[in-house]
Amino acid sequence: MIIRYVEDRDAESIAEIYNYYVENTTFTGDETPFSKEHMKNKIKDISKDYPWLVLEENSQILGYIYLNQWRFRSAYRHSAELSVYIRNGVRTNGLGSKLFSSLLKELKKKNLHTIISAIVLPNNASINLHEKFGFKKVAHFSEVGYKFEKWLDLGYWELVL
């Protein structure tokens, strides 16, 4: 099992992982699956400025984690938004923790002060993972999303570095 920087060749596997969540869960607000090309462009855009890591075992991507710009105004340049996804059906066995640990080491190379995560609620596994690494809940928005015929709450967690 290795954790490494994302590469173009990972786009299809990452799209597969993400599209499961798009099509079957409320854990993402996206409602339309991503094509391999769309994911390749997203990877290219994000990874030029922020770390994007994949966890690979036996040539299969089991999960990924990345940071992205949190807001588009210059005053927020020292904050970033975190996203993490694990392939459906894989026993996690701490895969999320391994990805978090690796990403937090990468942050030492960046000029960041605060990491923010948006979590569609309920999602106890994601909350527990974030809080294990010191993230604190700072906001709760009621019924701000709508997917699969139901209203969704959104929580924000932050980690001040």
How do beta strands 114-121 and 150-160 pair?
A: antiparallel
pLDDT of residue 108 exceeding 90? no
More confident residue, 109 or 125: 125
pLDDT of residue 109 exceeding 90? no
Alpha-carbon dihedral sign for residues 129, 131, 133, 135: positive
pLDDT of residue 159 exceeding 80? yes
CATH class assigned to 2-160: alpha beta
| Residue ranges covered by each domain of the chain | 2-160
pLDDT of residue 39 exceeding 90? yes
d(CA 141, CA 160): 21
Residue 93's alpha-carbon distances to 69, 98, 99, 120, 126, in angstroms, are 29, 9, 12, 23, 14
Model confidence band, residue 8 (pLDDT cutoffs 50, 70, 90): very high
What average pLDDT is seen over the chain?
A: 95
